[in-house]
Structure formats: structure tokens, C-alpha cells
Chain A
Amino acid sequence: MAYEHTADAHHHDEHDHHGPAHGWRRWVFATNHKDIGSMYLIFACVMFFVGGLMAMIIRAELFQPGLQLVEPQFFNSMTTMHALVMIFGAVMPAWTGLANWMIPMQVGAPDMALPRLNNFSFWILPFAFTLLLSTLFVPGGAPAGGWTLYPPLSLQTGDGFPMAIFAIHLMGASSILGSINVVVTIMNMRAPGVGLLNMPLFCWSWLITAYLLIATMPVLAGAVTMLLTDHFFATSFFSASGGGDPVMFQHIFWFFGHPEVYILILPAFGIISEIVPAFSRKPLFGYDAMVYATAAIAFLSFIVWAHHMFTVGMPLAGQLFFTLSTMMISIPTGVKVFNWTATMWKGSLSFETPMLFALAFLFLFTIGGFSGLMLAVVPADFQYHDTYFVVAHFHYVLVPGAVFAIMAGTYFWLPKWTGNMYDEKLGKLHFWLSAIFVNVLFFPQHFLGLAGMPRRIPDYSTQFADWNMVSSLGAFGFGLSQLLFPYIIWKCVKGGQKATDKVWEGTKGLEWELSSPPPYHSWTEPPSREIVARGVQH
């Protein structure tokens, strides 16, 4: 296997003779799933703060009416880049990082199936984001037409335009390669006894996510390539004056964009499905239903895209179809929320930091789900569309949804990764500050949207002043609280109370059968039948 070629034998731990290489070679030539996973997670964390800084600029400008800090064009660049950086730079790499760390350990494999591909798919990312972020310094500035890149507006971007398009191509390539690796690993590297219907739900949700990525990233690549040729090669795919159709771009974009929404959230469902049972000391309720619900959500995500564009002027039948298919998503999603609740029912709950983040996820993601249900009602969407109500909705599902799940997963597995317990007091402090400020930040945005404030505006009429100020204060509080997160991780990596192999009382799964920290190559021999029987879900 590939990992055997990498290392010159160092005696780093008692399990394995293949230790990591020294110095920069360990990272640049990395083929180890843990090293690559760590690089993904560090990259995601850096991008989380870069995107967060942009959010702080946005909220600082919106702190009060009038333009105090930035020009409108730069403000638009900030909203556009904030979205691209957070989606493609923070959340998606964080999921791939967690997949790298956990999937081989969870399925009983020594490493990811394709280690060199793994290296490549990570190292594309720093180049992609250097390219994307350097658009801030070229004539015409960074893209400012929204992350959705709708033409004709996106075609007005300056010299940064082709750079942003190529950056998106690179990110897409990285995601596809990472997804192929996940699929191959889960399909081929499961230890004997680890079946598809008893592997951890994190693996299941990632398997489905990987298929979504492989299916939709080429669609995005196609859409942005057509933008590129419209701009430079005189095609008119999206230009009405040349016989093209600007609305067609939106259809293509959202055919990628809606599955993308589930790419961002399905792995979160997987993590929550691991954490809630662990801290309820009770098996997950309805494992099969959870798998089928995840698959159903993934399927439905391909036939709801036009609900992002109800206001473009669709035929009545189209509006009815997309409103009904969208509302149908709430059925499998509801099944998931009910199953998590039933998992806690008659359990024995304790509230360590991972569980606190998971519980906040349950409440706040569900609020985002409710506002999503409201947005599915087409006539009402004619009012909600492109207002702060939508901003509140997708931030509820992405911040206390996806981001809280990433944090929950990090606190959950950090002792396993490092062999040390993190500082529980600081973890709880981080949780409470995050959970309170995230609501101060985003809940008032529902009011602003309903009262009529459009999104993506740098300045607003004075009737919106009060709630914008509250929201901005929440944003500053939330942003500052996040500085705790890397500090807690750093502290944990440096040392702390030693973690047991099982780490938490209620954990179940093959990763908990390994030592803490685990050997450099996870399962050099497939786990025995007894270990597998102990570790599998049911």
C-alpha cells in the first residue's frame, strides 16, 4: 500500500514503525490521512477567520445608517468574498479534514484509499484561495456581484474576474478529488464485519455528500466556464442581446447550488448522530431511518433548485412543483430531528462541550429549518425573497448548523486525536458565548427582513437602525468569542489531562478502540471480529 513507501522507519509510537517524515517534507509530501486531515482543518480555521474578518467589516458598516467605513463597491466585494471564503474555504475543507481524520479510523482502514490524490486535493486549496483573495488587490477589485455570480452583473467584474473563475475551478477540482477518495475508501477499505448498514452515520452522510459533490461540482464548473467565454470569447450563453438567457445561468447555478447546501449540512447530520447517542448513553434511535432520510434528502436536493429563484417569473406549474418538492424535504429532515429527540428520550444525558454544541445545533438548526419551510411557500417568498429574512435563514442553518457541528465534532474527537483532554471550562465558555451571541447576531435579521430590508445593501433607511445595531453587536461578540477556539485546540495539543482510549463514557465505534492518540497508521491490521462487534452501531 502507498503509505509503506512514504516513511523511513522512526520509532514514534509503539504500534507502528512508520513514523512521520521530519520538517516541511512531512507536510508538503504528506500522504498520511491524519497529517492531511490536520492540514485541512488548520486551513479551514484560517479561512474561517479570514471570512469572519470580512463579516466584521460588513457588520461594522451596517452598525448604523450612513456609509462610515467602506465604499459600496467594496462592501459588495465583502459580501461576495465572505460567502465564497466561508463556503469553499471554511466549511467544506473542515468537513474534508474531519473525513480524512475519522473515516479510516471508523471503518477499520490504515489510511485513505488514495493517499497521493489526498495530498493533491489538499494542496490545490492554498493556491485556489491565494488566487481568489488576490483579486482584492487587482484593478476593478474582487468579485462584487454576489457569490451566486449572476450574469450580466458578474460580467462587470474587473481584472479579478478570470482569477475568481479559475479559483472556483480549482476548488471544484479539489472537492471532486477529495470526494472520490472518500467514496473509494468507504466502498473498499471497510474492515470485515463493518457493513454498509452498520457503519457510523458520519461515514454514511459523507458517502452521500461525496456523491453530491461529484454530481454537482462539474455543473458549477460548466456554469462558470460559460461565464468566462461570455466575457472573453464573445459567446452569448447568458446575454439576451446575443440570443442567450440570463435566467438559464440561475437554473444551472442552483442545480449545483441546492445540492451544495446539503453538501454543507449532511456531514453535520452525521456528526450530530454520533454525539447525541454518545452523551445520551443510548444507541441512535432509528439508524436505518436515518440512512434512508439522508439519502432521501440528497435525492430531493436535485429537484428543488428553482426555489432559490421564485421571483424570476416562472410558469404556475413550475412554481407549484418547486414549492411542493421543497416542502417535501421537511419530511426526511423532520424524521432526523425526531430521531435525535427520541435518542435523548429515556437516556442518561450529560452536558460536556460536544453535547452542548450538538444540542444548540438541534434547536437552532431546527429554527433554520422552520424559516426554510416558510420560504418554501411561494406567495410568501415573494415577500421574503432577497431580504434579511433569507440571510437569517441560511445563517441559522450554516452557523449554528454546520459550523456548530464542526465545533462539536472537533471537541468530541480532539482528545482522541491529541491524547489529551481539552480544557472543559474554556470549552463551555466558548460554547455559551457562541450560542448566545449567534442568536443576538442572527435572530434580529428575521425582523429586519420581514420589515422590508433587502439583503446585500451597504446602507439602509433609518427605520432599520435599531435591529442592525443589535445584530452588529452580536456579530462582534460572536467574532471575538471564536478566538477562544484555536486557543483551546492549541492548549490541548500542547498537553493536558491524558485521555483514555474511549475518551467519553458513552462512545461506541472503531475509532474509540484505537489508542489516544491513535497510531500514525490507523488500522495496520484489520480489527478483529470481537473489536468490530464491540464497535459497530447495532
Chain B
Amino acid sequence: MSFQMKNRPARRGFQAAAISLFATLATAAHANWGGLNMPEGVSILSKKIYGLHMLIMWICVILAVVVFGAMIYSMVKFRKSQGAVADTTIVHSTKVEIVWTVIPILILVGMAVPIARTLIEIEDMGDVDVNIKVTGYQWKWEYEYLGENVSFFSTLKRDSDAARQVGSGIDPESVPNYLLDVDNVLVIPAGQKVRFLLTAQDVIHAWWVPAFGMKKDAIPGYVNEIWVQVEADKTGVYRGQCAELCGRDHGFMPIVVEVKSPADYDAWLRAKQAEQKLADVAPGTPAPVASAAAANVTQQ
């Protein structure tokens, strides 16, 4: 820092604060340094969104260098302690003021073009291959594959749920994918355009998988849409969370999506259809019926 500190307590305070700053940075020495920026994601849209994020971030960095540079220069160069004498005649300059009004306007107009282009693409819901209705409940998700007779609930996995209780004594580090694992995983095909229709039963939730680049609110009485097309070679498991405060267990309704190749996806869907048909004929049994009843309870 360029400030001159003549008095000792201030310097001591500065040192104490600086030491604690380095101590905290040292704590973070084993941090996940890859986790400093937005992930690029695996969908067509997420890459474009990432591109816009980086563009606006670099614009801000360049502006920051210019503005902070001028401030720091002034603070170093025009110090009274260095004998600087104020030039009190500088109070106004129409020319300079026009320049620093017009340049930001040009930057904004320049930004508006890629923003509009990306938005138009985000809102394009045509040519959809798979439609999935997502319903938010306090505090779980329901997925329904429209026209496929497949639907199920997806809730936080038991081991995470046990570990997250106050005073559980279970170390979260010992739980695989702590708070980001569910009982029933959502499965979608890679390389196909999947449309999600988002709504909610009780309060507002938001469905968000960072790797897909999009989040949107799931609102009672509304159906919102987003589309996701994961790149064909990016099969794998992607995780997210509810992103709109929805009550006590808002932090505990994760989203897990498994992206499979179209062939594997079809096989999974057929198996799921067969399983759910069985469940329909034998009502006493498994998950869908029981969790639907639970959902009715939360509705009331």
C-alpha cells in the first residue's frame, strides 16, 4: 500500500490484519483453485453463457485497470506530503466529460448485440426431442417424462440426510457427494434437445444445474421452460441444487442428472417404464406411490 503511516499503532494494526490475511490465504492453500471461476459447462448454451461471462469480466478488468490506475496514480503522485500543490482551476471539462460518457455507451451498445443473440437462442424452444416436466415440492423434485409414462420423485440421499442433522457427529467429508446426491437420478440423453417444463406445488423453487448453464424458477401456477442440449461426448453425472429459498430444507433438495448416450437412455427409459407398470398393478409396493402420498401431505 502506498499510504504513509507515521503512527505506530496503525502500522501494528495493519501488520496484524496483514498477518491474518496471509493466515487465511494459507488456510486456502489446499483450496480447489479450479473453483475460482464459472465452469464452462457441457451444454450448447452453457458454453455461450460462459463466453459472455468471460467477455463482460474482461471488459470490467480492463475498465478496472484504467480507473484504479488513475486513482492509484493520483494517490501516489499528488500527495501533500510530497509537496504537491492543488491546481484548483480544474473544476470542469466538457470535452473529457463527453469522452467518458460516450465510451461506456459504446461498450454497452457493443455488449447488447451478443446478449440479444444469445437470449434469442435461449428462448428458442423449437425442435425438442425429449420433454420433462419438473415439479418442485418442499423439499424434493418430481420428474415426469411427458408421453412416456415415467415419473418419479428425487430426494436427498439418506447418508447425506443423516450427516446433515445438527450434532450428527458424522463428518461430511466421509459422505460421498455430501448434499449433492439423490435417491432417484434424472436421466437425459446426450446430443439431444431436452426441454424442461418447470412448475411447483407449494412455494417457489428454482431448478439449477451449473453445468447446463441455466436456472429458472419453478413457480406454483406457472410453467416455465428451459432447454438443454448436452454435447454428444459429454456423458456423465452432473449435480445442482434448488436455487430459490423455499423454506427450512431449501439447502437439502439437490438435483442429480445422469447424461447417457441416446442408446443407453432408451434402454434406461424402457426399464423404467416396465418397473413403473409393475408398480401400477401392485399398489402397495415401491417408491412412486409412497412418495406421491408424501407429496400430498406436503401440499396440505
Contact = CB atoms under 8 A, between A and B. Distances in A.
Bound together: yes
A528 interface: no
Nearest to A424: B7
A206 interface: no
B285 interface: no
B222 A285 contact: no
B92 to A, nearest CB: 6
Given A351-B3, A377-B115, A382-B215, A457 B251 contact: yes
A156 B138 CA distance: 12
A347 B86 contact: yes
Nearest to B17: A436
B283 interface: no
Interface string B194-229: 000000001110101010011111011110110000
Interface in A122-177: 144-146, 150, 152-153, 156
Contact of A152 (B25, B38, B220): B220
Contacts of A145: 245, 247
B79 interface: yes
Interface string B78-117: 1111001111101111001100110011001001100110
Contact of A327 (B80, B97, B108): B108
B217 A331 contact: no
Contacts of B172: 65-66, 459, 461-462
B300 interface: no
Interface in B222-262: 222, 224-225, 240-252
B7 A348 contact: no
Nearest to B205: A153
Contact of A350 (B79, B203, B222): B79
Interface in A443-482: 444, 447, 450-452, 454-464, 466-467, 469-470, 473-474, 477
B24 A474 contact: yes
A341 B177 CA distance: 48
Contact of A349 (B10, B74, B214): B74
B25 to A, nearest CB: 7
A386 interface: yes
Interface string A360-373: 00110011001101
A451 B31 CA distance: 12
Given A338-B67, A429-B10, 17 more contacts: A76-B250, A145-B247, A156-B203, A282-B88, A286-B92, A313-B225, A320-B119, A345-B74, A346-B90, A348-B79, A363-B68, A379-B45, A385-B206, A432-B17, A450-B36, A463-B32, A467-B31
9 contacts: A66-B163, A67-B168, A287-B92, A327-B112, A335-B101, A348-B78, A370-B64, A383-B53, A385-B206
